Amino acid sequence: MRTARSSLSLLFYLLAIGLLAMGFIYLNTGGIRGGMASFRPQESRDLFYFLSVAQLVLVAFMTPGLTAGVISGEREKQTLNILLTTQQSSTTIILSKLVSSLSFMLLVIIATLPVYSIVFLFGGISPKQLSLVFLFYIFAMFVLGAFGVLFSTIFKRTMISVVVTYGFTLAVFAGTGLLFIFLQGVLRQYNQGANPQSYGWVGYVLGLNPVAALLSIFEPSLNREAFGNRMTPSGTPTPPPIELWQEFVIVYAVLAIGALLLSIRYIRPRLKKRG
């Protein structure tokens, strides 16, 4: 924050989010046609979904750039060895780097609260739902940041670690969604006439997608649809085996903790044992 770059980054980020919100309202109030239309609570809810997904994508775009060079950058500046000779443990170094890198993203997310206040002007969203969205952002930042630190620790060059981190992010956001669509289409053609419940396990793939996990917090029907709309003998829908967001949190929490443990293990050079 001692340079103008941080303030300008925050400014342009808020401008982007604000323009997206204003553009959505403009398109849904007859702005193009020149008419006078109302903005209903359901449209306010759609605006909230739109802003939530848009900000999640922006978080995924910015977080790898902030964390993928925290260790490799120290190595390239030849300051990592000096850092390792201090009294700080490997755990302290890794966690401090992660927290300091994500602190700016946390500031950016908090700064968007006034933009979300537009939604409360029209209704349709509760403060609890807004809190859940921001908690989900923090968790997604933690996951991407943990893997960014891991790749920065493993790879010696920052450029390589940045590319690998963005590749991992792309696989999580786009790869899981495309894999779900592909598997669902293939199994639906292969099991023509079969009950969708027979291949409802494909829903577990969708649970690995952050966008689907975020939307499942507010749309419980998405959880049932992902697992094939299971029905009881009486014809009533049964609850899904697991909520998509619950699967997302459990799986990626384990993976993120594992990434941090690997980072702690490999940050210090290890001498090869002589045979």
In a domain, 139, yes or no: yes
pLDDT above 50 (res 124): yes
State the pTM of this model. Answer: 0.86
DSSP state of 171: I
For residue 47, is it within any domain? no
Contacts of residue 152, Cβ cutoff 8 Å, sequence gap at least 6: 67, 68, 69, 70, 71, 72, 73, 158, 161, 165
What's the pLDDT at 193? 54
Residue 44 in any domain: the answer is no
Distance, CA of 5 to CA of 167 (rounded, Å): 26
Amino acid at 112: T
- Phi and psi at 155, nearest 5°, equal -90, 140
Q: What type of residue sits at position 125?
A: I
Domain assignment present for residue 235? The answer is: yes
The CA-based angle 222-18-13, given to 5 degrees, is: 95
- Number of folded domains in the chain? 1
Residue 152 has what pLDDT?
A: 93
Cβ atoms of residues 123 and 235 within 8 Å: no
pLDDT for 119 equals 75
pLDDT digits 0-9 by tens, 82-116: 888 888 888 999 999 999 989 988 988 888 888 88
Domain that holds residue 248: 59-266
Whether 48 has a pLDDT exceeding 70, the answer reads yes
Average pLDDT over the chain, rounded to an integer: 83
Residue 210 lies in a domain: yes
Which residues, including other chains, have CB under 8 Å from residue 57's CB and lie 6 or more apart?
173, 211
Q: Is residue 145 part of a domain?
A: yes
Q: Provide the pLDDT for residue 32.
A: 47
Q: Is 33 contained in some domain?
A: no
Alpha helices in 70-175 (DSSP H): 72-76, 80-84, 90-111, 113-122, 127-154, 158-170
* pLDDT greater than 90 at residue 208: yes
230 inside domain? yes
Write out the H or E segment, with its range, that includes residue 242. Answer: none
